[in-house]
Homo-oligomer: A and B are copies of this chain.
């Protein structure tokens, strides 16, 4: 089982990823694609007159402030524009892709944090009416049911709260939970960098091999967005995935090259 998470950055080569997913699907159809979409969401939100707002949580992570209007724009871009773009790119390459959000069948289910504790200008604040949460469990049955029918699931945030509400969840950590729940051989995370960098943004400082127990120190040197990815990688390996690869989504054959040794490989 291979779980591929592809970021939403505009430098990602969608055609190259889709073609390589199709190649991989011919070899072993037991795979899942998870995608993001933050950059495009920011653009559409601007166009619709509801620009994105980012907040810093008490634990130091940067998150999108997700009021109800933002959640709707998020759904339009992730579930509408981008999920169907990925499904179409795969369908035109002969792959029977089925696009779903984490809300559908509660694929990504977890706790909604309707109160968001943040720091702003050094002060602690509580934001209410927020629609974010965590992925605490994965609906393995629905994935297995689609695989049994020969379909390739293409998944995206949002997730579902335990009450069935749509919640903004982090795509990397959702993919990590999924890899753990499915006991995946490999979680491959494609983004717009070549992998984990010892000296970000120096792409020559790529870390090629890392043991899971060394991840905590890698977390220290990771840039902010990479932190969530590393945290997800740690969780995935602790909870059952065999290896995690961080690799470049801007190149041709990005999946084949990552599986052949490219990027940063992390094993237990």
On A, residues with C-beta under 8 Å from B are 44, 47-49, 72, 75-81, 83-84, 87-88, 90-94, 96-101, 103-106, 141-142, 145-146, 148-149, 151, 158, 160, 163-166
Q: Which of A48, A72, A164 has the most chain B CB atoms closer than 10 A to its own CB?
A: A164
Q: Which of A78, A92, A158 has the most chain B CB atoms closer than 10 A to its own CB?
A: A92
A166 to B97, CA, bound (A): 13
A163 to B93, CA, bound (A): 9
B84 with A158: CB separation less than 8 A: yes
B48 with A84: CB separation less than 8 A: no
Min distance, Cβ A258 to any Cβ of chain B, angstroms: 26
A164 to B105, CA, bound (A): 25
Residues in B whose Cβ lies below 8 Å from that of A76: 44, 76-77, 80-81
Give the nearest-CB partner of A84 in chain B: B75
A87 with B72: CB separation less than 8 A: no
Residues in B whose Cβ lies below 8 Å from that of A101: 84, 87, 99
Q: By DSSP majority rule, is chain A's interface helix, strand, loop, or mixed?
A: helix
Extra A-B contacts (17), CB below 8 Å, given A75-B84, A99-B101: A44-B48, A76-B77, A78-B80, A79-B79, A79-B84, A80-B81, A88-B103, A91-B106, A92-B164, A93-B164, A96-B106, A97-B105, A98-B142, A99-B104, A142-B149, A145-B146, A145-B148
A265 to B133, CA, bound (A): 45
Give the nearest-CB partner of A97 in chain B: B104
Q: Name 21 interchain pairs, CB-CB below 8 A, sorted by A.
A: A44-B48, A47-B47, A47-B48, A79-B79, A79-B84, A79-B99, A80-B81, A84-B158, A87-B104, A88-B103, A88-B165, A88-B166, A91-B103, A91-B106, A94-B164, A96-B105, A97-B104, A97-B105, A98-B142, A99-B103, A100-B100
- In order of increasing CB-CB distance, the 10 nearest A-B pairs are A80-B80, A91-B164, A76-B80, A76-B76, A92-B164, A79-B80, A98-B104, A75-B84, A75-B80, A98-B105
Task: Please judge, given known A-B contacts A91-B160, A91-B164, A145-B149, whether A84 and B96 are in contact too, CB under 8 Å.
Answer: no
B166 with A84: CB separation less than 8 A: yes
Min distance, Cβ A244 to any Cβ of chain B, angstroms: 28
